[in-house]
Amino acid sequence: MQPEPTAELRHRIIETPAGRLHLVEQGTGPLVLLVHGFPESWYSWRLQLPALAAAGYRAAAIDVRGYGRSSRPAATDAYRMLDLVQDNVAAVRALGEESAVVVGHDWGSNIAASSALLHPEVFHAVGLLSVPYAPPGGPRPTDVFGRIGGPEQEFYVSYFQEPGRAEAEIEPDVRGWLAGFYAALSADTMPARGEPDPHFVTHGGRLRDRFPTGPLPAWLSEDDLDVYAAEFEHTGLTGALNRYRNMDRDWEDLAPHRGAPVTQPSLFIGGTLDASTTWMADAINAYPTTLPALSASHLLEGCGHWIQQERPAEVNRLLTDWLTTLQS
């Protein structure tokens, strides 16, 4: 397998059940499909695409349905997990491959895990960043999230679930909101222990009221922020937020798979300062049962939520080392 360090980025539009899916690919070799989270885009993998290409892989980072140059269906229920999984399957097929490794971050981690669970014949290995795998099941999600926070504040997931509510906060100043949201979950700019938690909204308030107001995190340049802001100023946030508005539908759709493990080779990488990782510590502890073919679980000390952008060298090394084991 020969590395291709000078390979160029290639933008492509492919057909999916929802219409078009935009992706950016680099390199040749076994296919690695990269799935971003909220509120991001294919650009979140800009530091992984060349590294994977140089290691001898064909890396393809998608714009998830509702983001960037991909289609944005009008119906809220067009963003349920089953549909996003089918988009991933369509991407693999459109790229001329029978199977792929799928790697996801944040919501992309859930989408990647669900893709592997529902289509093991297509996704023969899965990498999960920041958000651990937890099998389908348990109580209805809105019931759980509605109890978090108590009488004085509301969990951000519940806040995002009400159509139009978060949009009214975000869209008058997309760039400023994104800057605050990214900073709130980054290791070097997140609020200190004891300060108001940006995962919660005071009743009648806004999420951004708890964002830090200082400099951008070290991983995010002004130019990077411009890229993200330009995407969402063009698309709006509704498509992205509709992922949160389908959690109960997902709970119903995936009921036949309650408690099911993902049995393909897997990898998890989280940050010790990331609430997604710390809140779901029980899910990580359950990996011997839920991810029985787990190759390794890594927690990067002092790392926040945007793991592949905050610590690209470490993440790239862990990903490429793991991918190498899949070829042996």
| pLDDT single digits (tens) 101-133 | 999 999 999 999 999 999 999 999 999 999 999
* Domain extents in the chain: 10-137+255-327, 141-241
DSSP letters spanning 77-89: GGGSHHHHHHHHH
Letter for the amino acid at 154? E
Which residue has better confidence, 290 or 148? 290
Under the banding of pLDDT at 50, 70 and 90, the label for residue 3 is very low
**Closest to 108 measured CA to CA, from 33, 16, 10:** 33
C-alpha triplet 66, 319, 309: angle, nearest 5°: 55
List, in sequence order, every residue forming a beta bridge with 200; answer none if it has no partner: 155
- The token pair at 36 is 């971003």
- The token pair at 68 is 């960037």
* pLDDT at position 152: 85
Residue 225 has pLDDT above 50, yes or no: yes
Under the banding of pLDDT at 50, 70 and 90, the label for residue 49 is very high
Read off the pLDDT of residues 60-86 as tens digits, 9 standing for 90 and up.
999 999 999 999 999 999 999 999 999
Number of Cβ atoms within 10 Å of the Cβ of 243? 24
* pLDDT at position 196: 92
Peptide bond into 5 cis (omega under 30): no
Counting residues of the chain whose pLDDT is more than 90, the rounded percentage is 92
Three-state DSSP class for residue 17: coil
Residue 327 has pLDDT above 90, yes or no: no
Q: Exactly one of 36, 105, 199, 305 is catalytic; which is it?
A: 305
Note if 224 is an active site residue.
no
- The mean of the pLDDT values for the chain is 95
Note if 274 is an active site residue.
no
Q: Exactly one of 106, 250, 253, 274 is catalytic; which is it?
A: 106
- CA pair distance 201, 155, nearest whole angstrom: 6
* pLDDT at position 4: 42
* pLDDT at position 151: 83
* pLDDT at position 230: 98
Read off the pLDDT of residues 160-207 as tens digits, 9 standing for 90 and up.
999 999 999 999 999 999 999 999 999 999 999 889 999 999 988 999
* pLDDT at position 149: 79
Counting residues of the chain whose pLDDT is more than 70, the rounded percentage is 98
- CATH class of the domain defined by 10-137+255-327: alpha beta
Read off the pLDDT of residues 230-265 as tens digits, 9 standing for 90 and up.
999 999 999 999 999 999 999 999 999 999 999 999
In this prediction, residues 284-308 reach a mean pLDDT of 98
Letter for the amino acid at 153? Q
The predicted model scores a pTM of 0.96
Q: Which secondary-structure segment (H or E) carries 310?
A: helix 307-310
